[in-house]
Amino acid sequence: MRRRALGLLAGLAFGLAACSTGNGGTATPTATPTSAAYPVTVGSVTLDKQPAKIVSLGPTATEMLYAVNAGTQVVAVDDQSNYPAGVPKSDLSAYKPSAEAIAAKNPDLVVLTNDSDKIVDQLKALKIPTFLVPAAATLDEAYAEITDLGKLTGHADDAAKVVGDMKSKLDTIVKSVKARTKPLTYFYEVSPDLYSATSKTFIGSIFTLLGLQNVADAADADGKAFGYPQLSAEALVKANPDLIFLADAKCCQQTADTVKARAGWSGITAVSKGQIVALDDDIASRWGPRIVDLAQTVATSVNQIS
């Protein structure tokens, strides 16, 4: 569990959640655009024609590509991409990418969420167009990545609609949260050994948007933990959060019952009042369109508290 927590930054960069399984959604054929104008340049990548063979290395990248209706152009995804159901999963790894294995798919565009082992340079040397969509630090960065992928794949209008829908839904969700004279506090559990994510992280910013106060912020006031500090049980009990969100439900089989069984935790408000929320590990570790689903889960949990 400690190794999982220490590897969280890398895991989020790939949009992975350990031991994850697919949930909901189906990869269905999508329409090919008829009016996309090429050549198209986004960042340092220029495509002379619409890509027909896309390889996606990173679950978040895969979700974004399908969301913008580029699904029929995706020929292979990495071994951890699991949404939507039916994506062309392969044995390609986003953690340890092989330029040779990727090239064997004969792609005309590779989308990655991390530049492990300088894979971008390796693919460029093979003259394979490569586009990096790293872990977003803000919602605006996530929106920009979706927009960029839409332009590159010939689905700019679809991408604009996805972004517009996300903004609209998030705005509605934020407005739905009950107004309080004092903000509720929360603990976001990354792993059972009490690694967490502060308000300065992407995931933390979603909770802040919904008016919650993060009890882990003090544990990384100097930023040396890059937003992912490990709390002691004593510090958490003293912080006494109103809510506990479990982002380790699938990977580590954590539930409200396992949390209640922890020694010394019975006096924590979140535990004594049963305000423990198991999240979907995958959704909680990715920065694509399903951020809206996460926000809705959090908002619903908050609104249930009187």
pLDDT at 143 over 60: yes
Exposed e or buried b for every residue in 225-248, given b needs 16+ CB within 10 A? bebbbbbeeeebbebebbbbbbbb
pLDDT score for 244: 98
Strands (DSSP E) contained in 70-193 are 74-77, 109-112, 130-132, 185-189
Q: How far apart are the first and last CA of the chain?
A: 34
Per-residue model confidence as pLDDT tens digits over 248-276: 999 999 999 999 999 999 999 999 999 99
pLDDT score for 36: 62
Query: Domain boundary residue among 147, 170, 193?
Result: 170
Output the six-digit token pair for 271: 């535990």
pLDDT at 278 over 70: yes
Ramachandran class of 58: left when φ > 0, alpha when ψ lies in -120 to 50, beta otherwise: left
DSSP string for residues in 234-303: HHHHHH--SEEEES-TTTS---HHHHHTSTT-TTSHHHHTT-EEEPPHHHHT--STTHHHHHHHHHHHHH
β-sheet bridge partners, residue 47: 40
Listed residue (305, 184, 279) closest to 239, CA to CA: 184
| pLDDT: which is higher, 125 or 17 | 125
- Whether 256 is covered by a domain: the verdict is yes
Q: Domain check: are 73 and 157 in the same one?
A: yes
pLDDT score for 23: 35
User: What is the CATH classification number for the domain harbouring 61?
Assistant: 3.40.50.1980
- Whether 50 is covered by a domain: the verdict is yes
Q: How confident is the model at residue 22 (pLDDT cuts 50, 70, 90)?
A: very low
204 Cβ contact partners less than 8 Å away, ≥ 6 residues apart? 188, 197, 198, 214, 227
pLDDT at 16 over 70: no
Per-residue model confidence as pLDDT tens digits over 199-232: 999 999 999 999 999 999 999 999 999 999 999 9
**Lowest-confidence segment of 28-37, 120-129, 169-178 by average pLDDT:** 28-37
Q: Which domain holds residue 150?
A: 24-170
Q: How confident is the model at residue 173 (pLDDT cuts 50, 70, 90)?
A: very high
